[in-house]
Amino acid sequence: MSTRLKLVSALPTLPEAVLEVQGLSKIFRVNQTTFHALEDISFQAGTGELICVLGPSGCGKSTLLKILSGFIPPSAGQITLNDLPVSRPGPDRCVVFQEDALFPWLTVAENIAFGLKGRGLSSQLMRQETERFLSLVNLEAFCDYLPREISGGMKQRVALARVLILNPKVLLMDEPFAALDAQTREEMQNFLLTLWKKLSHTILFVTHDVTEAVTLADRILVMEKNPGRIRHDITVILKRPRMRETDAFHHHCKHLYAMLRTEKAG
Ligand code: ADP
């Protein structure tokens, strides 16, 4: 059973739920043995909320995201998006992974435009949308570059633009900055927050990094493993922009580290 905690003052009014997950479980069967990767996962994500899913390696974070994206089915439970059941991949839920999955033979602009193909848009509208998103991720000057010619941070900005251009209801992010160096990672976190402020998507962001979760999240779902469960649902009421050097920031991190240590010992 998860608990709903707050770190400071009163809980804010909850936004209207867009994504609802109820009693989700996942059992993997390998060589006659069964493994409960996820057990009784329930939560709601409100419109425009940025929720981090935080937990140790192997607690089922990626499995949860794969189920939400519709790539794998749950063993039990329901997911609804705006009251409609989710059972397969769809453009209303887009995923950004750790490793960029750009098409290496397409330019930055072509990668961003790719998802718009087959949607019946005129070529002028496609060009306009591509330019809008190139500008949103500050890559106009690199529009004709191939993925191998740009940096890791730039690749992740392309990966973001090419899913945001599809206007998903929920953006699912699986440790998208984990492969980047520390400085680029911090830049990308700030960049994501700027984009989120402009576009107000609902975001579910998986991480095992406490600092990243406190930097980004409105709420943090703290998971434990064996079986993978949500142990705490924490509302982070730190003003934005969040300064990593402040006592309040450290207080939040310490609180979360203590929770994660308890999970390990338990
Ligand atoms: P996390 O993302 O938190 O590191 P994962 O979701 O990748 O965790 O994995 C959770 C658990 O489920 C792990 O113990 C992993 O070995 C197991 N698992 C994931 N996918 C499969 C699969 N296809 N078959 C069997 N076990 C799996």
Return the amino acid letter for 259: M
Query: Which ligand 1 atom is the nearest neighbour of the CA of 208?
Result: 3
Give the mean model confidence (pLDDT) for residues 142-169. Answer: 94
User: Residue 7: is its pLDDT beyond 70?
Assistant: no
Q: Report the alpha-carbon distance of residue 130 to residue 152 in Å, rounded.
A: 20
Gap between the Cα atoms of 238 and 232, Å rounded: 18
Mean pLDDT, to the nearest integer, of 242-252? Answer: 93
Nearest atom (ligand 1) to Cα of 72: 23
Determine the average pLDDT of the residues in 230-241: 93
pLDDT 10s digits, 189-213: 999 999 999 888 899 999 999 999 9
Neighbours of 34 (CB within 10 A): 10
Residues with CB under 6 A from ligand 1: 28, 30, 35, 37, 55, 57-63
Ligand 1 centroid, distance to 259 Cα (angstroms): 22
Write down all domains in the chain, each with its CATH number in brackets. 3-92+170-265 (3.40.50.300), 103-167 (no CATH)
Task: Scan for tokens 């998802």, then name that residue.
Answer: 115
pLDDT (tens digit per residue) in 129-148 = 999 999 999 999 999 999 99
Burial category of 106 from C-beta neighbours within 10 Å (exposed 0-12, middle 13-18, buried 19 and up): middle
Ligand 1 atom 19: residue of nearest CA: 63
